[in-house]
Amino acid sequence: MKLAISVCKSCGSNRIRDRGELPPLDPRLFAGQTSDVPIVAGHLFVCETCHLQFREPCLNDQQLLALYKQLPDTIWTDNEPRAYWPRIQNAINTYSSNNTLLDIGCYRGDFLAWMPASWNRLGIEPSIKAAQFAAGRGITILGATIEDGTVPDPRPGVVTAFDVIEHIVTPLSFLKNIRDCLDREGCIVIMTGATDTWPFRLFGRHYWYSALPEHVTFYNLAWFRWAASRLNMRVVSHSYFSSEPRGIRQWLRECALISLHTLVQSLKRLGIADRAIGAIPYGKLALSWRTVPWWKHSEDHILVVLKNNVTSDN
């Protein structure tokens, strides 16, 4: 298959490398919902200049936005506080320059509602139903995307985006738009999957995180440092962690399943017959899987805090 790409969508460099085909996906499903926009798995590319990894081909930001707008408010619900929220709250308390917090992709506002009421809570959310739900909780919704959000007064001392940037095709302009609405001494707090963690490195293009059709770009600390330098910002803090509470039994089970899946797919690629693969323990079972088993308990996420380079004369 000839791929219609020659440059990186983040930095425009032509130093991009094809890492191979991404796991197959159901072309009629998007974020677990039935969609009439066909989606192909495509290939995983890596940029040698800015270090971004990305899916290609993929829908553009406008096509993705149209799909997110239609999503119901029942997909990404958090009835219980997520285990990593205190970690994020700690970063916010350390680096925010005022008490106005803007959460991009706030969905139903679960995180914002969990934050203390002393915070002025603002949200940006494309899902119309989820945004309505958040507004009903007293959260001020500024718009569907950062591009059409009204800049609040005062400007937010912190802008957060959790599990969001991996859904963005053009991430540098996304970060620039956030920076442009931020208080000069404020901070940006981003959480996403990280390709510089060992599970991502080990499984590569077979990794579960890059098998979700709505995930189109994949990050690492080197990319955030590259992006920060382009925006006259700097990375002031970063840490790696699991987005799910860690239980060793679940961790081992998920690790075994994704390892089995990767082994079977590798054998198939080598031309080994299904009958021979079915003879290995659990080989028949793995051959029947249509999607990559998730390893949500692995330590494969990064939390990054960026701040402006503020000098004494500006």
Binding site for Zn ion (CB under 5 A): 8, 10-11, 13, 47, 49-50
Nearer to Zn ion, 57 or 152 (CB): 57
Q: How far is the CB of 16 from Zn ion (least distance, A)?
A: 7
* DSSP-derived 3-state class of residue 33: strand
Contacts of 100 (CB under 8 A, 6+ apart): 119, 120, 122, 152, 154, 155, 156, 157, 158, 183
- ∠ CA 179-183-184 to the nearest 5 degrees? 80
Q: How far is the CB of 23 from Zn ion (least distance, A)?
A: 23
Nearer to Zn ion, 8 or 267 (CB): 8
Nearer to Zn ion, 51 or 307 (CB): 51
Report the C-alpha gap between 281 and 259 in whole angstroms. Answer: 13
| Residue 149 · residue 161 · CB < 8 Å | no
Q: How far is the CB of 193 from Zn ion (least distance, A)?
A: 18
Contacts of 272 (CB under 8 A, 6+ apart): none
Nearer to Zn ion, 223 or 295 (CB): 223
Report the C-alpha gap between 136 and 77 in whole angstroms. Answer: 15
CB atoms within 10 A of CB 273: 10
Q: How far is the CB of 304 from Zn ion (least distance, A)?
A: 17
Nearer to Zn ion, 50 or 134 (CB): 50
Burial 116-138 (b: 16+ CB within 10 A, else e): eeebebbbbbbbebbbebbeeee
Nearer to Zn ion, 12 or 136 (CB): 12
Report the C-alpha gap between 171 and 17 in whole angstroms. Answer: 19
Q: How far is the CB of 180 from Zn ion (least distance, A)?
A: 21
Nearer to Zn ion, 14 or 266 (CB): 14
Q: How far is the CB of 5 from Zn ion (least distance, A)?
A: 12
Report the C-alpha gap between 296 and 226 in whole angstroms. Answer: 27
> What DSSP character marks residue 263?
H
Q: How far is the CB of 233 from Zn ion (least distance, A)?
A: 17
Report the C-alpha gap between 287 and 12 in whole angstroms. Answer: 39
